[in-house]
């Protein structure tokens, strides 16, 4: 039995409007990503990789088509639902780290867990030898 994909893109387009000029960055992308899959997105600069990743990460919505996360259309989700999905279902490592300077590395990594009320994770999972 094949499970439903955790992320599914159906004929996804992303079109940016600059004055009267439309630029289609993504054109009809269809993609299924199954739970546990390892996916690599490759392409030259300007080919739409970041735009696609922003769609997959629920950071942006398509101009056309649908992005489904666990069967739910992200364009129909509220901002709160999208934030919950990003916090609980999607891991994102940015090219520029976007770390909070007043936190150490461990605290930066744990921040999503803290936002989810899992602050005990530091004691349970992130013990640092010698401390």
- pTM of the model as a whole: 0.75
Contact indicator for 67, 61 with CB cutoff of 8 Å: yes
- The strand pairing partners of 7, in sequence order, are 33, 69
73: in domain: yes
Both tokens assigned to 121: 């994770």
Residue holding tokens 């993609």? 31
Distance CA 126, CA 3 (A): 33
User: What is the domain count for the chain?
Assistant: 2
Model confidence pLDDT, tens digit, residues 54-91:
999 999 999 999 999 999 999 999 999 998 888 888 87
Contact indicator for 14, 25 with CB cutoff of 8 Å: yes
Structural domain range at position 73: 7-88
Contact indicator for 30, 47 with CB cutoff of 8 Å: no
62: in domain: yes
Lowest-confidence region among 7-11, 22-26, 72-76, 108-112: 108-112
């Amino acid at each position: 039995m094949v499970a439903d994909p955790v992320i599914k893109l159906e004929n996804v387009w992303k079109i940016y409007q600059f004055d009267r000029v439309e630029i289609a960055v993504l054109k009809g992308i269809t993609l299924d990503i199954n739970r546990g899959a390892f996916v690599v997105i490759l392409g030259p600069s300007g080919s739409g990789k970041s735009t696609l990743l922003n769609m997959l990460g629920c950071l942006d919505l398509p101009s056309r088509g649908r992005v489904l996360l666990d069967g739910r259309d992200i364009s129909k989700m509220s901002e709160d639902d999208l934030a919950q999905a990003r916090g609980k279902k999607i891991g994102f490592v940015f090219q520029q780290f976007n770390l909070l300077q007043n936190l150490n590395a461990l605290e930066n990594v744990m921040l999503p867990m803290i936002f989810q009320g899992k602050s005990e994770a530091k004691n349970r999972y992130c013990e640092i030898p010698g401390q």
